Amino acid sequence: MGNIVRKGKNVIVDKTQMKGLSNWKAEESKEIQQPGQDVDEDRVVANLSVSKQNRDNWEKNTQSGRVQHLLEMGKEDKTSHSYDYDLIVIGGGSGGLAAAKEAAGFGKKVMVLDYVTPSPKGTKWGLGGTCVNVGCIPKKLMHQAAVLGEAISDSRKFGWDVQEQVSHDWDLLTQAVQNHVRSLSFNYRRSLMDKNVTYLNAYGMFVDENTVKATDKNMKETYHTAADFIIATGERPRYLGIPGDKELCITSDDLFSLPQSPGRTLVVGASYVALECAGFLAGLGLDVTVMVRSILLRGFDQQMANKIGEYMEEHGICFLREIVPTKIERIEEGTPGKLRVTATSVKDGENHEGEYNTVLLAIGRDACTHSIGLENVGVKLNEKTGKVPVNEKEQTNVPHIYAIGDILEGKLELTPVAIQAGRLLARRLYGGQNTECDYNNVPTTVFTPLEYGACGRSEEKAIEAFGEENIEVYHSSFWPLEWTVPNKGKDTCYAKIICNKQDNDRIVGFHILGPNAGEITQGFAVAMKCGMTKVQLDNTIGIHPVCAEVFTTMSITKSSGGSVSASGC
């Protein structure tokens, strides 16, 4: 009973709060073009008459977790009585939204603050964070565009009569991609509304332990209090700090909505973002150069990383190794105009110069943690990386402030990880559950022209963890059937598994380089969750003829030095 009364009180607090926000609300509803729908009123009504579903949930929760609730009653009463919200999430990306919606599903009062500071080039976007707007979604679509370009040239060998003169229209692609991105962003807003989560398109900053200041784009400030907070502000691309970088270069924040084809492009960096962008730009027919300071895909298995590099080089992408840019100058106006890049060899200090239409920086990303008032509440940061250390419950050093997603120290910067972490956090906070996010054996895929899927440890990390003598590496090249007719590289695609000999030949690393690597890797990640061993792999029957079946017939160990060349059926 006490709980329900508490909810009522919340609404009253909320209503006064909402009044202060009515300007913003009106503006927002205009923006999302839903005339006639007064968000403010809806919000209040929905809260006053707790929807049936919410009430059901509520009753279910109170019954199933009665003991839990009784135990937490003291804490809840103390906090909820005096705050506007149960939870405020700062950052409306994959992780933040997942946490917010999950918390709202438990009948909690939740606010999400999201605000995109325009990039130095002025690019900005809507709700949804990096993945939807300037990450996974647009890059996979552009990768798909490049894959389709390859399909066109393959198709001639498969009997399709296509003229040789095929060209690509950048504007058409970016428009199509942006339309999809906007529709996703819109869906996020709708789903927040459906779940009764208050969304504020404003920049959030901690003022004190339970209060954030939200500043909207008109610099209007509002204050909101909550019992718990989740920081999910993510990251933004890093700049070089050399003359001309912010004025003249673009980053992945700008690329996917660039109003004109980037033309001759220099990609600086060898992160997965760098290689993915370089890959699809080249696939769309552009002249692309990648400038690499040291190694490709740091943190990934280096054998696989180098194979990706080789493939890209074979497919016309120029790699400048051990060189760093020192100066960018504009030498020709226009869109895209022309830039001169001066660079220095890290080996011998020799200077290099090149001219490009576009310079894309992809040298890393920095956590958005420095201007959100963390110093006001004492949340500790790793000073060097700007990342937030958390415990296994995603809790910062300030107990009621949590953090998820890309800003976490030592965790993975992946959308599904952030979503999982956000959801599980909300379930632990409000659902009486105790499952923690498992950051081990998380699968991932790099969408380079030849896709790379991985789960578990790299060969280097496996050696480090278990010792070279305790691991066995099985590997094999394979020739995708679809590559035979167009006669594409026979020994290009490659698969590798790493087994721990001390533990029943359990698979501790899974790596595949080939078409559809992402689709292939997912199921194997489930198998790794189930503790798959080499014997189980050998006992599984392949699906013929697909690339993934290569894993069911692997017999050559690296230590044997045997040939891995692809053989027939």
Partner 1 sequence: MFDAVASMAALCGQCRLWRRAAAAAQLHSGVRCLSAKFDYDLLVIGGGSGGLACSKEAALSGKKVAVLDFVEPSPKGTSWGLGGTCVNVGCIPKKLMHHAALLGGAMKDAQKFGWLVPGQFTHDWSTMSEAVQNYIRSLNWGHRVQLNDKNVKFLNHKGTFKDEHSVRAVSKSGKETVLTAENIVIATGGRPKYPSDVPGAAEYGLSSDDLFWLKETPGKTLVVGASYVALECAGFLTGIGLDVSVMVRSIPLRGFDQQMAHLVTDYMESNGTKFLWKCVPTKVERMPKGQLETTWRHLESGQEGKAHFDTVLWAVGRAPETKALNLEKIGVEVNDKTGKVIVAANDATSVPHIYAIGDVAEGRPELTPSAIKAGKLLARRLFNSSTELMNYDNVPTTVFTPLEYGCIGLSEEEAVRRHGEENIEVFHAFYKPLEFTVSERDSSQCYIKVVCFRNSEQKILGLHFNGPNAGEVTQGFSLGIQCGATYSHLMSTVGIHPTCAEEITKLHITKRSGLDATVTGC
- Residue positions annotated with a catalytic role: 544
Full DSSP string of 462-474: HHHHH-GGGEEEE
Q: Shortest Cβ distance from residue 332 to partner 1 (Å)? A: 25
DSSP state of 533: B
Q: Shortest Cβ distance from residue 315 to partner 1 (Å)? A: 17
Residue among 163, 241, 331, 348 that touches partner 1 (CB under 8 A): 163
- Per CB under 8 A, 302 contacts partner 1: no
Long-range contacts of 164-168 (CB under 8 A, 24+ apart): 167/285, 168/284, 168/285
DSSP state of 121: T
Q: Shortest Cβ distance from residue 2 to partner 1 (Å)? A: 31
DSSP state of 541: P
- Per CB under 8 A, 260 contacts partner 1: no
CB contact at 8 A, 549 and 542: yes
Binding mask 419-438 for partner 1 (x = CB under 8 A): xx--------------x--x
Residues 118-147 that bind partner 1 (CB under 8 A): 128, 131-132, 136-137, 140-141, 144-145
Residues 490-549 that bind partner 1 (CB under 8 A): 516, 518-527, 529-532, 536-537, 539-549
CB contact at 8 A, 357 and 339: yes
- The interface region with partner 1, picked from 103-111, 187-195, 289-297, 373-381 by CB under 8 A, is 187-195
Would you say 112 or 442 has its CB closer to partner 1? 442
Residue among 45, 48, 73, 172 that touches partner 1 (CB under 8 A): 172
Residue 534 contacts by C-beta under 8 Å, 6 or more apart in sequence? 472, 474, 497, 499, 505, 506, 507
| 373 phi-psi bin (left φ>0, alpha ψ -120 to 50, beta other) | left
Binding mask 401-420 for partner 1 (x = CB under 8 A): -------------xxxx-xx
How far is Cα 185 from Cα 194, in angstroms, rounded to an integer? 14
- The interface region with partner 1, picked from 157-165, 219-227, 293-301, 337-345 by CB under 8 A, is 157-165
| Number of chain positions touching partner 1 (CB under 8 A) | 90
Neighbouring-strand partners of residue 213: 205, 223
CB contact at 8 A, 236 and 91: no
Q: Shortest Cβ distance from residue 133 to partner 1 (Å)? A: 11
- Per CB under 8 A, 479 contacts partner 1: no
- Per CB under 8 A, 148 contacts partner 1: yes
**What separation in angstroms does the CA of 121 have from each of 128, 202, 245?**
20, 20, 11
- Per CB under 8 A, 551 contacts partner 1: yes
Residue among 180, 380, 400, 558 that touches partner 1 (CB under 8 A): 180
Would you say 227 or 275 has its CB closer to partner 1? 275
- Per CB under 8 A, 263 contacts partner 1: no
Q: Shortest Cβ distance from residue 44 to partner 1 (Å)? A: 26
Q: Shortest Cβ distance from residue 114 to partner 1 (Å)? A: 15
How far is Cα 126 from Cα 255, in angstroms, rounded to an integer? 16
What is the phi/psi pair of residue 389, to 5°?
-75, 135
Residues 61-100 that bind partner 1 (CB under 8 A): 94
Q: Shortest Cβ distance from residue 269 to partner 1 (Å)? A: 21
Residue with token string 């003291």: 74
How far is Cα 267 from Cα 210, in angstroms, rounded to an integer? 43
